[in-house]
Chain A
Amino acid sequence: MRDSISKPITRVDAADKLSGAACYIGDMRLEDMLYAKTLRAAEPRAKLISIEYPELPEGYFVVDKRDVPGENRVKMLIDDQPFFAEEVVNYIGEPIALIVGKDKEVINKLLEDIKVEYERLQPILCIDNITAPPIYGENDSFADYSLNKGDLQKARAGAAYVYEGIYETGYQEQFYMEPQGVIAEFKEGKVSIYGSIQCPYYVKNAVVSCLGSAPEDVRIVQAATGGAFGGKEDYPSLLAGQAACAAIKAGKPVCLLLDRNEDLEATTKRHPAKITLKSYIDESCRILGLEADIALDAGAYAGISGVVLQRAMFAAAGVYNIENLSIRGKAIATNKAVSGAFRGFGSPQAFFAIEMHMEHAAKAIGIDPLQYKLSNLVKQGDRSTTNGILRDKILLPEMVDRVLEMSGFTEKRKSFKTERAVGALKGIGLSMFFHGCGFTGNGEQDHIKAKVRLTKDIHDRVEILIANVEMGQGVQTTMRKIAAAAMELPIDSIIFANPDTDRVPDSGPTVASRTTVIVGKLVYDAALKLKEKWQAGAASEVEEQYKYPQGFEWDNDSFSGDAYTNYSWGVNAVEVELDPITYESTIKGVWTVFDIGNPIDDRLVRGQIDGGIVQGLGYASMEVMENLQGRFRQRTSTDYIIPTAMDIPEIKSELMCEPFKYGPYGAKGLGELTLVGAPIAYALAVENALSINIDTLPVRPEHLMEVAADGNGY
């Protein structure tokens, strides 16, 4: 069974996507549907003095804070973000009101004619040296954590070398091809939301609290979703609340679909980070201790920054076994769009910092960076950053060997050196990383407590009822495979429709690389139960709820224990060549080995790897998003550049497998891991090509030119 589950099958959603029949929000037309467009703040921080609306034609509405029947706060970990701005605005693009009506042109004209008067306040636009009054709390942080392991004093005392560096990473926009959108409908006292979403129950909770209504009066249905990558984790809750208020006011369905420019300006992005690392290294080049300080630019509202920060902190030591740690983390409030989830969720930033740091430390000491890294690797039985035991075998040494072999790394490092002497700027870099799968810390066991249900009808068809969504990753196929294999049924006797909160239990959000490993296992267990009580021709139903596996421990106050139950691992190599005049890079090769446990479908896995790698290479090389004075410079898809088919060579990938005992068929998480390592390998390749040190992402040619001109090479 283990091997046959990996054999690819036809995606169940392929036919509709190929024929164009798949129905996304922009394709849905409800009867009498109106359109809404958002009036957005034009100042990063200001008091709203007055808003003057033009006279509205019949059938057109303004919807704002006065139309929120319940709480005008999006329900989150910290409820600080209003659906519609109240007395102040805190970022450019913050929603103030909706204009709703039938004709989009009329709506646009009305929007142009609105006059908003602001009184400017001093904005907070960077994360260092804040002088303006805080946006949140006393120290302007949504989260401020520290984590200690061992005794850093000991490391300090025993150090023969001390190495310190500062690493910075920029924004990254998810750039799912389908912009965010929802449709709200109000019928007989009940609100239905159709949306391009990752987390139906997050949306439901937010709308219930926005409307102050009974939970049974709010229903969320996922529409076909054109990519998400974390971007549709929390932001749709805001849109859904707004559209619900509008639908109630107008008495007609309302479609709130962002255009690309709004989506770029106003929705969540990957947190920019500034990470300071200081390592204490002994005579024999063992790392005795590490001090880390992580600052994330969280934007104007808390969102999920605290959780992103935890993941970044727990990844701060990378794949290295470091006994003494002191890690400080802050998510700092600034007057910019809210930073949020994006594939990797804090770990791309943290792994970039530690991998570059290790490389630079080795160079400073005068030893081979790869040897330095390998001699400090974690292995089975070692303790994680949070002092949890790494229970499963860690295949990193074998994975590194294989990537070295596939990429010809060692020979290339040699031959490129010779070629560089005659002016060819070629380089190759290698990264090692992990991803803790499932929610961080106590998320799964204390907060989500995922529940799944399987029903069987009298025709012996089985339906999977879970809240997890198909957003391109293939969950509709993998879940069916898991259930079918467990019950030994043909795949087409399994049904799995897009979730509708009136029908599915809360199996949690579609995030954190948790769907296969956590929800998939529950589906598997439920399938076995259903099989046991199987009676042909009789209807039945089973449920399963998440149980924290025995032997694992987590203390959320001290951040100690098993931050994750399972880890996936990766090793990536990237080869580049730079133009000696412009310093623009061409990616010549990408090689990857991942351990994601037992793959549920080889072809879907391959798709996740390719997609994640390319997003990672975009993050490292071309996806520039700058915020100047509170305004993003890249506000259209012609300014924000993502990779095209031209930019990417063939990606060579292999898998190694250390199965996870509590995953379905031994599977572990996959989606996010694939983005983490490529940016680092790319940066290291450029670093190698130019014999410099790189400590900033994205790596920009203009910056390289400056460094090279300064003769600042390593």
Chain B
Amino acid sequence: MTAALEVSALAVAFAGDRGPIVAVEDVSLRVAKGRTLCVVGESGSGKSVSILATMGLLDPQRAVVTAQTLRLGDVDLLTLPATQRRALNGDRLAMVFQDPMTSLNPYLRIGQQLTEVLEVHRQLSRQAATAQAVAMLEAVGISAPQARMRAYPHELSGGMRQRVVLAMALLCQPDVLLADEPTTALDVTIQAQVLKLIQDLQARNGMAVVLVTHDMGVVAHMADEVAVLYGGLVVERAAVRDLFTAPRHPYTRALLASIPAAEHRGQRLQAIAGSPPSPVARPAGCVFAPRCAFAVPQCQAARPPEEALADGRTVRCFRHAELADA
């Protein structure tokens, strides 16, 4: 099956005062039509930079982006001229940020912002664009959509704004939706609403979704596949059930074990000691070695390669095979 989006060997380096900052070292992402890939990792692991690079939104003056593959369906984004590539954004490739105000203009009415998208990408008349915008607001669960068209962003709650941004992203029926922590700033109740909305919209239009999150509960509900990022690398990638029932990378294991739950009341949580590496001080060997309970001298010496396992997953750990039964 051809992927709706395929990214392989993505690397991103920013210009820094003391040499390049390698924010993303080697990230591969692949998602099929109608499916959801969740990208999980701690802050600084390179989730946002990977997504921005995929969208072509990083400033070429500051960031050097390289990749082996960058394809949207049958379109090769690596060789596509910049203007054509930009035209795909908001059309076949859409993005939602954690802060909805990244996508919204505070000084323009919601309606104008929505219809503009259609006028630019679809060359629709004002009237036709307005009708579609109202229908889309309704589809994302906004009551009295006609009236809301006249509202300014600040007149809406955080949850409502994120719905508007989703409506805007979906106006052109994108093939792929990239959502970078869209619910992190929201209450659990509103988070559930927004996630349910993404599921419903996906069921209706069959888009592929890449959902960035740091919440394993969100992953459990939303993902078909999961890519676990750590220190600018995908350390494990697997189908969601395989990942939860038999995590192979020590970081994935430790992360899943550290989640507080009512069942473990009164016991100490299994915290992971230390903190994640900064891109300017990444360990020479395995990026997780300084925090890893299973590290051996080899782990400090070299980066473990990305290995493909029989069940289709990939893992970056020298000891994954011997630890499989541990």
Q: Do A and B come from one complex?
A: no
